[in-house]
Chains A and B, each alone.
Chain A
Amino acid sequence: MYSLELEKVISEIKARNSKQVLIQLPDGLKPEANKVIDAIESQTDAKAFLWLTDCFGACDIPLGLDILKIDLMIQFGHNRYWKTQEW
């Protein structure tokens, strides 16, 4: 129903030579999570992981991923957020 753009996802992972990828999905797309992981791990050399809980938007990106040596994070369902200086 929603285009996961898996070809683009695979292409980006290969182009960046990513080894560990974190996937973040909004609630509506979480049931598709296994399709994303399976596609990545079968078509690239990367390991893929899932962010468990909420993803409220592109403003809501997990921090500290360097500790896990995640080199690429892919967030689905949102496009880039332009933060303003002040409210």
Chain B
Amino acid sequence: MTQIIFIDAKWEGIITLEDKLKNYLQKNKINSLALFASVQFSDVENFIKELNKINIKVNITKAKRTGKPMQILGCDAYHDSFETPILEESDAVLYLGDGYFHPKALLLSQVKNNKIKPVIMWNPISKTIEVLNEKIIIDQIKKYKRNLRMYVNAKTIGILVTIKPGQNYFVTAKKLKEFLEKQGKKAYIFVDNNLDLRHLENYPFIDAWVNTACPRIGTDDIVNIRQPLINIKEAGNPIKALEELEFRN
């Protein structure tokens, strides 16, 4: 059997509180931060000490599927993704790293909150600040609400399952199929490795789809397809999911 090992590939630089970031935080009167990072930038002991020295409290939590506190994964895009509600408890959210994929998860995890706090992104390599706010996920939220409504009314459901080991929920898919069929609906399970949503159009008899793999397929990729698709987390009670999002335009 194949053995597996993981290499963090950490950034070789030292993460420090540069003046640019320090001035931004002080100018915006930020007294507490919810701090997150990708694993490449997770050596932050000195960085936190520097923040504490200027009276900024740093809050850290552990996400469900990570091994280390403060680390964030792309699937940490739900309200209950974290052990403690530091996003609500902090003045601002700070992400160390590059790219939008992980910071977007932090925005998505707040969609049920009255206010979505922007994510301050600090790139330790380019030493740049960028602020990501809810505008970047507005289209996704609108589409997701529309998909939920169509799923509620759908008579025939397609359930997507991946064989990727970390994203495989085949048993859950079978339970969902049973649940839907008890409600008088038809359900079919589709299996593949990479779930390429361009293939959904080959199955015109499917009214709506449920993704059981990475939840970002159900949030990010849906804007590129016509077919309604939601994530497994909402598939058991889509009405409740709609009620929780109804206030959000």
Q: Which residues of A contact B (CB under 8 A)?
A: 1-5, 8-9, 12, 16, 18, 22, 29, 54, 56-61, 63, 65-66, 70-84, 86-87
> Which of B66-74, B137-145, B199-207, B241-249 touches A?
B66-74
- Nearest chain B CB to A46 CB, angstrom units: 13
Contact in complex: A59, B214 (CB < 8 Å): yes
- Which residues from chain B contact A87 at a C-beta distance below 8 Å? 169, 172, 212, 215, 231-233
> Which of B27-35, B158-166, B180-188 touches A?
B158-166
Contact in complex: A77, B7 (CB < 8 Å): yes
Contact in complex: A72, B5 (CB < 8 Å): yes
Contact with A along B1-22 (1 / 0, CB 8 A): 1111111111111000000000
Prevailing SS type, chain A contact patch:
loop
- Which residues from chain A contact B71 at a C-beta distance below 8 Å? 79
Contact in complex: B73, A80 (CB < 8 Å): no
Q: Which residues of B contact A (CB under 8 A)?
A: 1-13, 39-40, 64-68, 71, 73-75, 125, 163-167, 169, 172, 193-194, 212, 214-215, 231-233
With contacts A5-B7, A82-B67 known, is A54 near B194, CB below 8 A? yes
Residue of A nearest to B125 (CB): A1
Contact in complex: B65, A83 (CB < 8 Å): yes
- Nearest chain B CB to A53 CB, angstrom units: 8
- Which residues from chain A contact B232 at a C-beta distance below 8 Å? 87
Prevailing SS type, chain B contact patch:
loop
- Nearest chain A CB to B75 CB, angstrom units: 8
Contact in complex: B4, A78 (CB < 8 Å): no
What separation, in Å, do the CA atoms of A67 and B26 have in the docked complex? 57
Closest 6 CB pairs of A and B: A59-B166, A87-B233, A65-B2, A2-B9, A77-B9, A76-B7
- Which residues from chain A contact B75 at a C-beta distance below 8 Å? 59
What separation, in Å, do the CA atoms of A71 and B13 have in the docked complex? 33
- Which residues from chain B contact A12 at a C-beta distance below 8 Å? 5
Residue of A nearest to B231 (CB): A87
Contact in complex: A60, B166 (CB < 8 Å): yes
With contacts A1-B12, A2-B10, A78-B39 known, is A73 near B164, CB below 8 A? no
- Nearest chain A CB to B249 CB, angstrom units: 26
Contact in complex: B9, A71 (CB < 8 Å): no
What separation, in Å, do the CA atoms of A12 and B9 have in the docked complex? 15
Residue of A nearest to B2 (CB): A65
- Which residues from chain B contact A80 at a C-beta distance below 8 Å? 6, 67
Contact in complex: A60, B12 (CB < 8 Å): no
Contact in complex: A79, B39 (CB < 8 Å): yes
- Which residues from chain B contact A73 at a C-beta distance below 8 Å? 2-5
- Which residues from chain B contact A70 at a C-beta distance below 8 Å? 2
- Nearest chain B CB to A17 CB, angstrom units: 11
What separation, in Å, do the CA atoms of A83 and B214 have in the docked complex? 11
Of the candidates A29, A60, A61, the one whose C-beta lies within 8 Å of that of B9 is A29
- Nearest chain B CB to A87 CB, angstrom units: 4
Of the candidates A16, A29, A59, A76, the one whose C-beta lies within 8 Å of that of B164 is A59
